[in-house]
Amino acid sequence: MGEKKILVINPGSTSTKVAVYEGEHEKWTESISHSLEELKKFSKIFDQLEMRKSLILSCMEKHGDALKDLDAIVSRGGCMPPVSAGAYEVNDYMVECLRERPVDQHAANVGAGIALQLAREVGIKAYTYDALTVDEMLPVNQITGLKGIRRPARGHNLNTRAAALKLCRDKGLSYPDTTIIVAHLGGGITTNLHQGGKMIDVIMDEEGAFSPERAGGMPVYAIVNAAYSGEYTKEELMRRLQRAGGMISYFGTADMREVDAMIEAGNEEAKLVFEAMALATAKNIAKIAPSAYGKIDYIVLTGGLAYSKRFTDMVRERVGFLAPIELIPGENEMIALAQGALRVLNGEEEAKLLMPTA
């Protein structure tokens, strides 16, 4: 009997990444681009379902794969109600939640609907894995200084948990028995703490280090003043914080290779801001450690910026006193999804069901 064949779907804002895995081996992968003009036709993200599904089927046909040959389909999990980490079997209730009342608008919301429709055509199961809304934070970590506002739990859950699991697999460690801080270094920088097999604390990019694209945690009073200054609409200010902050606000680019070239050319401002971003990252790694009483086994740096030796060296110098630091660079979402579905198919993990609460 051959390796399990799994279709992986990862919808993004302007693309749909598709891959077929045989076991943990990537048979092929492709990123299908969607033009802004094409997407303007749809008033809601979920309205894109048929368009994206059709393109996925065409892509499979091009690569010589058919639905009937699949053992499972797995999609990136969207903004459903809060869930625990791991696999969820896609059901009608999950799709309804993502279509009618998503926690937030995100392209991944449409993935479960596509996966379920395709899976039902051939009588197999569809899954999501480590959804965007994984929330395993301890109650004490949810509290803020303003009653009624709690700390959010979202923080690149798919890639950070995959990195933690890979570290344990590579080192022969038990994930539930290992305490790991994982910092995802991408367009946004998030940090989370894994202990007892759960992600018990998260520092999201809206409150953590500034990054290539994000402003990160900011002086609150200054932001309130900006919001009421009349200079910005809500949308304009949110864009400055989310998509035009960080390195973009200083140098007009989120490409750290360009900033690195500026530093090499002697640009002192670039050198200072780059070091400040590394310092902010290290501060947040240290900030999350008290949630485990400082008893940390490993720190993992992952995401695209983990390829930068200059950046990771700066972080290591600042926070290496806390625990050994391991690099697992890249955003390994597709293989993480495939491995999650494979664990279910192999009986190593049981898929949960999202059900209505009483």
At 34-72, the pLDDT tens digits run 998 888 899 888 999 999 999 999 999 999 999 999 999
11 and 124 belong to one structural domain: yes
> What is the domain range of residue 72?
5-134+334-353
Residue 1 has pLDDT above 80, yes or no: no
DSSP code of 120? H
242 and 115 belong to one structural domain: no
Interatomic CA distance for residues 213 and 257, integer angstroms: 14
Residue 358 within any structural domain of the chain: no
157 and 282 belong to one structural domain: yes
Identity (one letter) of the amino acid at 329? P
Residue 59 within any structural domain of the chain: yes
At 291-335, the pLDDT tens digits run 999 999 999 999 999 999 999 999 999 999 999 999 999 989 999
158 and 45 belong to one structural domain: no
96 and 193 belong to one structural domain: no
Q: How many domains does the chain have?
A: 2
339 and 270 belong to one structural domain: no
Closest by Cα among 332, 325, 329 to 289: 325
146 and 42 belong to one structural domain: no
Cut 0.85: pTM above it = yes
151 and 228 belong to one structural domain: yes
At 193-247, the pLDDT tens digits run 999 999 999 999 999 999 999 999 999 999 999 999 999 999 999 999 998 999 9
Residue 154 has pLDDT above 90, yes or no: no
Task: Let me know: does 306 contact 93? Beta carbons within 8 Å.
Answer: no
173 and 270 belong to one structural domain: yes
Closest by Cα among 56, 43, 57 to 15: 56
Residue 329 within any structural domain of the chain: no
Is 277 exposed, middle or buried (CB count within 10 Å of its CB: 0-12, 13-18, 19+)?
Answer: buried
Residue 204 within any structural domain of the chain: yes
Instruction: Considering only residues 38 and 1, tell me which one the structure prediction assigns the higher pLDDT.
Output: 38
Q: What is the CATH number of the domain that holds 304?
A: 3.30.420.40
